[in-house]
């Protein structure tokens, strides 16, 4: 009985030490040709909030991306435009999270198709 009382705190302490690891860098996260992108001291960290200003910023980015995309199937362009209009309407109605989601989807769709 005395051994189990002594063993339990040692086992718990050992498990706690398993979580301790040296600091990792972006190079440590490379797996099969992919890497994690970490913010560096030189790059600013952008924190977004669900605000009307963020909705306007996203709406502007979608508009710019739509204007800049020259080679895109018409159906994709219409889908992205529809998502943009829905997102802007939702933001104006005060449904910020839903509006931001639609605007982000439109932007992702445009950027994905623009990369092809």
Residue 72 in any domain: the answer is yes
Residue 96 in any domain: the answer is yes
Residue 6: the pLDDT is 61
Residue 46 in any domain: the answer is no
Residue 8: the pLDDT is 62
State the residue for tokens 């909030």. Answer: 49
Domain range for 60 = 52-114
Which 3 state secondary structure label does DSSP give 66?
A: helix
Residue 13: the pLDDT is 59
Residue 31 β-bridge partners: 34
Task: For the full predicted model, state whether its pTM sits above 0.75.
Answer: no
Residue 67 in any domain: the answer is yes
Q: How many domains does the chain have?
A: 1
CA neighbor of 49 nearest in space, from 100, 102, 108: 100
Residue 47 in any domain: the answer is no
Query: What confidence tens digit (pLDDT) does each residue in 44-93 have?
Result: 776 678 899 999 999 999 999 888 877 777 778 889 999 999 999 999 99
Supply 13's token pair.
């302490």
Cβ atoms within 10 Å of 100's Cβ, excluding its own: 22
113 vs 30, more confident: 113
């Amino acid at each position: 009985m005395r051994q189990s009382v002594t063993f339990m705190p040692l086992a718990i302490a050992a498990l706690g030490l398993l979580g301790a690891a040296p600091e990792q860098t972006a190079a440590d996260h490379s797996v099969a040709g992919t890497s994690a992108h970490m913010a560096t001291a030189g790059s600013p960290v952008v924190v977004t909030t669900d605000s009307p200003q963020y909705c306007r910023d996203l709406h502007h980015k979608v508009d710019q991306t739509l204007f800049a995309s020259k080679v895109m199937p018409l159906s994709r362009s219409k889908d992205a435009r529809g998502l943009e209009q829905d997102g802007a309407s939702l933001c104006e109605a005060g449904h910020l999270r839903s509006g931001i989601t639609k605007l982000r989807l439109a932007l992702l769709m445009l950027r994905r198709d623009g990369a092809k």
